[in-house]
Structure 1
């Protein structure tokens, strides 16, 4: 150790002087200095062990003693025993062993007793060091397999730079597994060079550093393949099993809670009933080509047959966002993870900034290859989209009523139905921008601060129309002309320019029902608020009218 026993005892005395009195502690030194590593900047980690019945905090107290940073942790014998037992019980499923749990136990088992030696050794004996070596080696081996399999998948998808990063991760994890089997179980990789020197196998050490120094050029797929092949060969040489170069053993699998919904040409993928991803034209074609359970190379080939020039990036995005998962035949789901890093799991990208968010044909996207996360929870997304569709139906109904009122000279009826059409169009505009629940109709024209500034002219136009009166056929015709222009303006803004003239014919009504049904299916799945009660009947009839001849 870089500190003498006397120096450690002196630091311990001064540290204990700053703690409350009343408990007899056994004390052991943990961490890099206890391992024989460390440097003048390394902190001093004292673990105080007591025969206490109550749980003691895992969080350390931080002291500064004689220019050294000292961490004091307190744990009861029972707490330490529970941890050691959890490691032993989790050995058969290393993927579920947490890094923090393993690290805490490793530090204890390799600690240097300073006081109460008998109690410290009693606790250590609960998990023999040889057994812990095998568990730690297995834990690192599991992680190495995951990283190397993931790198293989990324190369298959054409993501060579990311594959290089995961190859490097797998290389570190491979040599850490090998070193752990020789007793070098300290988890943090920062002391790896000293661990390899101490392990005493110069051939393995030198080959590792040779591979670690390899740096394939960015975008060089051939070099990335060669680097992974060399790392896989090294892994086999040091005893890591389960990672032959066989990409066909990687299969694309379903993820629980991920569902697909299509409206028009737009594909929406809902993750965990909470998040909605909208897919661009190319990404949607790749998604529709998926046949789950197939080997990754076959999935990639099928995606290429869709006409998408490079289906690898969309597939990689689906994998990254947890919309699909990869499994290794006989080895379960591929879940790569790095030490001392963010926990593994699906990435959640920043929300899409497309405006407006929704159209009657589907959510807005940033381009053909987009896999965009909508900035709305799934139930609000569905409710807003249903409100958008329903607002357009109401607009069509109101315009039909207005036309009939003008023919009959019913001027007051015409005024009210025109206002109804204005308000319904505004409801569609607000819904398309994700506003839900909506403000009350009279308040809509004053709430344009909720929308992008570019919609301001629509608000001004709506205010003018809401103040119009009708007392003659000429005024009525002028109002109808301006109202149609206003509706067209709103619909162009929200992507509803092709909305059917719902009440013009049987065909246009059928088309309206189909649009509504597509969105109602999503809303019902998410238990979202339906726009009207009759919508349930449309669902029950699978998008058809309830009363029609068979």
Structure 2
């Protein structure tokens, strides 16, 4: 130990002097110094144990004593007993065992007693050291398997550089598994070199460092494959089971609450009923090629048949984002994780910056290989797209009404229906930018500042049209022409330029229903507010009119 007993007792006395008086604590030194590691910059970690059933705070107090940083943690006997009980209970499922819990128990079991030795012995006896070493070894073995299986998958998908990184992670976890079996249970890897020296198996130590220091440089898939093979062989020599370089052991599986919705050519994937990913043309083709439950090499071959270059990269992205999962035959889902790092789980990328966000054909994307997170919650995404489609239907209806009113010389009717068309088209524009709920129609022009500056000219044009009056055929014809030009401009901005002329014929109405059905069924699935009650009948009829003969 880098500090003598007298030095530790002196630091303890000075630390306790800064705490409220009266408590009678048993005290241990935890952490790297207690383990026999440490250096002059290492913390002094004191754990104070109370003979009580109290709930003492988990957060440490940080003191500065004689130029050293001292951490003071407190625990009651009941809390320590609960920790060991939880550890034993979770030991059978090492994949779910908390790293924090494992670390707390390890630090206490390997601590150096300073005060209250009898009480310290009592709490340490709650779990034999040999039992803890087995639990720690199983925990590291699980982590190593996950990392090495993930590396195998990445190599199959053509992500060689990332495969090397996970191979190195699996190598560290493998040697920590072996070291725990030798009684070296300290969790943090930074003292690994000292642990291996103390374990006194030079052949194992030297082979580990040889592999650790010869990881291949980026950009060499063949070297990455050879490196994974060598590390897997070493893992097998150390007793790690359940890993191999056979990617056919991996299958591609469905993730709960991940659903696919296609509108026109755009594929949307909804994750957990909360987030929407919009897929570009190439990404959508690879997604549609998926047949879940098949071995990974077969899935990759099917994706390659789409003609998309490097489909493995897209499949790897789907895995990272938690849109599909990989499973090892007989070994469950592959969930790689690193110690003392961010918890494992799906990655959530930054939201897409494409503008406008939505069109009647689907969410905007940044390119053919895009797997873009739509910057709207799933329910708002569905509500906004339904509002976009409905606004365009209302616009078509208003233009038809305006045309009829002008033919009959109904000038007042024409003025009101023209305003209705202006407002409906603006609603479509706001919806395309993800504004939902929408401002009131009377407020739309004033709220144009919610949208990008490029739309300000559209707002000014809307103001002018809303003030127009009609008292003659010529004024009516001019209004209709200007209104059609305004609507075309908005639809071009909002990606609705190909919207069907809904009320022009049976065919255009059928096209409108089909387009509406694509969006309404997403909204119904996500419990979004439907734009009108009749939309429920559209879902119930699978997009057909309810009173049409077969």
Q: TM-score, normalised by structure 1?
A: 0.99
Offset from partner CA, 1:216-273 (integer Å, 9 cap, x none): 2222111111111111111111111110111101111111111111111111000010
Shift of 1:442: 1.1
Q: Which residue of 2 aligns with 1:114?
A: 114
Residue 11 of structure 1, CA deviation: 0.8
Q: 1:520 corresponds to which residue?
A: 520
Q: Deviations over 1:18-74 (max 9, x none)?
A: 111222111111000000000011111111111112110111111111111111111
Q: Secondary structure at the match of 2:373?
A: strand
Does residue 477 (structure 1) correspond to residue 472 (structure 2)? The answer is no
Give distance in 1, aligned partners of 2:541 and 2:94.
50
- Give the whole-Å Cα distance in 1 for the aligned partners of 2:276 and 2:300: 24
Asked if 1 retains the 8 angstrom alpha-carbon contact of 2:168 and 2:215, the reply is no
Hey, what does 1:203 align to over in structure 2?
203
Give the distance between the partners of 2:352 and 2:146, measured in 1 at CA: 31
The residue aligned with 2:544 is 544
Matches within 5 A, 1:374-385: 374-385=374-385
Q: Give 1:174 shift.
A: 0.4
Runs of 4+ aligned residues of structure 1 deviating over 4 Å after TM superposition are none
Post-superposition Cα deviations, 1:312-350, rounded to whole Å, max 9, x if no partner, equal 111111100101111100001100000110000001100
Matched, 1:183 2:175: no
CA distance in 2, matches of 1:260, 1:549: 31
Deviations 1:478-506 (A, max 9, x none): 11111111111111111111111100110
Per-residue CA distance 1:273-329 (angstroms, 9 max, x = gap): 000000001111111111111111100001111111211111111100101111100
Tell me, in whole angstroms, the C-alpha distance in 1 between the residues paired with 2:237 and 2:549.
73
Asked whether 1:95 is paired with 2:77, we answer no
**Equivalent residue, structure 2, for 1:402:** 402
Look up the match of 1:72: 72
Distance, in Å, in 1 between the alignment partners of 2:44 and 2:277 is 48
Structure 2 residue 285 is the aligned partner of structure 1 residue 289: no
Offset at residue 180 of structure 1 (A) = 0.7
Distance 1:437 1:191 in 2: 56
What's the counterpart of residue 241 of structure 2? 241
The equivalences for 1:237-276 within 5 A come to 237-276=237-276
Distance 1:213 1:241 in 2: 24
Q: Determine the C-alpha separation between the residues in 2 that align with 1:350 and 1:497.
A: 29
| 1:432 alignment counterpart | 432
> Are the equivalent residues in 1 in contact too, given 2:54–2:78 (CA < 8 A)?
no
Q: Distance in 1 between matches of 2:19 and 2:407?
A: 92
Residue in 2 aligned with 1:532?
A: 532
The aligned counterpart of 1:388 is: 388
The alignment's TM-score, normalised by the length of structure 2, stands at: 0.99
Aligned to 1:156: 156
Q: What are the residue-to-residue correspondences of 1:287-326 with 2, within 5 Å?
A: 287-326=287-326
Secondary structure at the residue paired with 2:446? coil
Cα distance in 2 for partners of 1:245, 1:134 equals 27
Secondary structure in 1 matching 2:149:
helix
CA distance in 2, matches of 1:160, 1:467: 64
Identify the residue that residue 144 of structure 1 maps to in structure 2. 144
Match of 1:123 in 2: 123
Q: Report the number of matched residues.
A: 550
| SS of the residue 1:241 aligns to | coil
For 1:259 and 1:86, the matched residues in 2 are separated by: 36
- The structural deviation recorded for 1:459 is 1.1
Over aligned residues, Cα RMSD in angstroms?
0.8
SS of 1:19's partner is: coil
Gaps of at least 5 residues in structure 2 are none
Is 1:450 aligned to 2:450, yes or no?
Answer: yes
Match of 1:376, SS state, is coil
Q: Tell me the CA shift for residue 162 of structure 1.
A: 1.1
Mapped to 2, the partners of 1:504 and 1:463 lie a distance apart of: 28
Query: Match of 1:447, SS?
Result: helix
Tell me the distance in 2 between the aligned counterparts of 1:135 and 1:537: 57
Q: How much does 1:352 deviate?
A: 0.3
- In the TM superposition, residue 538 of structure 1 has moved relative to its aligned partner by 1.1
Question: 1:91-140: per-residue Cα shift (whole Å, max 9, x none)?
Answer: 11100111100000000000011111111011111100011111101100
**Aligned match of 2:501:** 501
3-state SS in 2 of match to 1:32: helix
* Aligned mates of 2:23, 2:77 — CA distance in 1: 14
- Alignment-derived partner of residue 460 in structure 2: 460
Counterpart secondary structure, 1:70: strand
SS at match of 1:57: coil
Q: What is the SS of the residue equivalent to 2:530?
A: coil
The alignment status of 1:194 with 2:199, answered yes or no, reads no
Q: Residue in 2 aligned with 1:412? A: 412
Q: Distance in 1 between matches of 2:202 and 2:320?
A: 38
SS in 1 for 2:39: coil
Point out where structure 1 has 5 or more consecutive residues left out of the alignment: none
Could you tell me how far apart the structure 1 residues matched to 2:148 and 2:416 are?
A: 68
SS in structure 2 of the partner of residue 394 of structure 1: helix
